[in-house]
Structure 1
């Protein structure tokens, strides 16, 4: 798969993860609003659950990381669904790649 196509599909995957995260925050807000209504209390504002500035920055970062992960692995990606999955797991995948270490001394077979 070409790296540009993989990157675009990776962005879709990162976007899906962000939509799911925002939906989770909105669902928590809805639940708390219903509970507050039942108790006759003041309704919580949506800004307690969604911070536009921070959430926008996280969304842009997820899109970029999804695109980067898919672009890096484009030679290993065989289809659109795979590219989307790589993009969705982009932050975790790139963290794993960054954490992996190459041994400084070559490992010989048969050596404990």
Structure 2
């Protein structure tokens, strides 16, 4: 967010990192959905937390997809354009909020596994 705020975003670095991050969070959501299914009849608490965390990571993925579409691979669009910077910062703030909720839920899930 700092780089967008300063208008110092490298287009290719941005587009590469967002592609990697988007894939990671998309697969995290899928993984947690699978965990929820596998624990359905084993442990209600783990099942519940996996479902909640999956939803948060689906929300992260949706935000990152919007971000990725703004800055397409491989050219990266215009990340330093003032309008794009403002929009990107808004998306990243939402993404961070959902990511924090996902982490909090995973920490609860971890505690339940102890």
Shared fold by TM > 0.5?
no
TM-score of the superposed pair, with normalisation by structure 2: 0.34
Look at both structures and tell me which one has the larger radius of gyration over its CA atoms: 1
TM-score of the superposed pair, with normalisation by structure 1: 0.34
Name the structure with the higher helix share: 2
The structure whose RCO (Cα within 8 Å, separation 6+) is larger is 1
